Chains A and B, each alone.
Chain A
């Protein structure tokens, strides 16, 4: 079965001023969604969040930072899922907490995902 990478982008602005209780609710939403997917079998790896800071190594080997911290589409995390086709994967992504918390999900098929099963 094809595998897809869910790349979570943005959503940082909306939660920045959330109350502690709201933060807990968003987290609970994530954990329930991941638990559901893991039990159903399509969530292969819940993945992890990415910290907003880091560095960029450019082609001339110069190193820059802060480039992406400004971006509204900053990658905040990733997960690995399994789905029969892109349409099914998209439906799974729609159910994720990302759209509800002001962010987006990029759905990308893993290049050799069919062969990994062999």
Chain B
């Protein structure tokens, strides 16, 4: 075996496993997905065993595709259900020879054809018969090649829950014999909106620091952006897809700066802005530029806000007036207490602490905001801005009483110490 380099590309096995599951499921049908996943796992293990001492072959992807394809074909042949598999695959060519089937798989595995199978799989994982949480878990398992325990760690769920969720989803898609096809034109908008939602929520799951800062969570963000990029490059994308990608990339640019070496959270206002990834910010700007439409979505507006932060050298120099306007437009599109809260903070930052406080007080009366820690933090921030130290301390203390999460406690205590100085 020819030895190339001793380094595989990052996440090689993860992504190849996703590629193989997508192509093989497209070829042999959703009903076969458990078998396909098992055979892909076997191929991964065989590759590791063969490469670990002798080095990686010149074309590792081709090596692994070849092995996985043969494992599944051998099994199907052995089961003597090949004819049935062809019939179920939707290729509807009962007399098709196994060689022809093999060559279709080979073709779909070619680099330029891979995105097509992945795209079809995205729409399957975000199938309307599944709820959002299940769609997210299934996407991470199937399209991102995550293991059950990795998903559990990333989403802060018990492994058993994730396992059941994924298995139930696969069973129901298999029973319904869902095909790996792209949505029809009349369905596309609706189905694409579901994919956007899943990618947005998936990214948030990974990004939200209230869940801790395990490295696996950054991987979730990276995967959401990767799949969004895939959708952007396809004919199924819309201006909203591009705005969503811009939004995810603006946030991703700040991933490394939002925690310190100990994993403690650093708030936007305290982040070292030289640590922001300028290259990603540039890419995000370019996608936002390509997303132009006369009907901007919430993604467009959220991306525009994120861009304001990313391009500003400091909190003080930030164009808070523009941010207030953008939040107002967001609220017109979709009423949300979280948007209202952020607009209030922006108002305070823009200098209008009076209006900011009256907005926050309105929010305080909402039942769903009663236990919302960030509302008290927002009050504290505005009090700080108006120079009312005592009121700020009081608000942080209220916030502190509402959380048990250690890193949130640490963050609030840090704020309190700073104010007490």
Seen from chain A, the residues whose Cβ lies within 8 Å of a Cβ on chain B are: 15-24, 26-28, 30-32, 34-35, 46-49, 51, 76-77, 79
Contacts and interface: CB of A to CB of B under 8 A. Distances in A.
Contacts of A47: 53
B13 A21 contact: yes
Given A20-B44, A27-B48, A34 B53 contact: yes
Interface stretch (B146-154, B169-177, B263-271, B293-301): B146-154
B56 to A, nearest CB: 8
B6 A31 contact: yes
B45 A49 contact: no
B372 interface: no
Contact of A27 (B11, B52, B149, B150): B52
Give the size category of B's interface with A.
Answer: 20 to 34
Interface SS of chain B: helix, strand, loop or mixed? helix
A27 B53 CA distance: 9
Given A15-B45, A26-B48, A35-B6, A21 B147 contact: yes
A20 B55 contact: no
A19 B54 contact: no
Interface string B1-22: 0000011100111101100000
Nearest to A52: B49
B339 interface: no
19 contacts: A16-B45, A19-B150, A20-B44, A21-B11, A21-B13, A21-B14, A22-B147, A23-B44, A24-B11, A24-B14, A26-B48, A28-B8, A30-B52, A31-B6, A31-B7, A34-B52, A34-B53, A49-B49, A49-B52
B157 to A, nearest CB: 16
Given A21-B147, A23-B48, A28-B8, 15 more contacts: A17-B147, A19-B146, A19-B149, A20-B13, A20-B16, A21-B13, A22-B147, A23-B45, A24-B11, A27-B52, A31-B55, A46-B54, A48-B53, A49-B49, A79-B53
B212 interface: no
Contact of B145 (A21, A26, A27, A79): A21
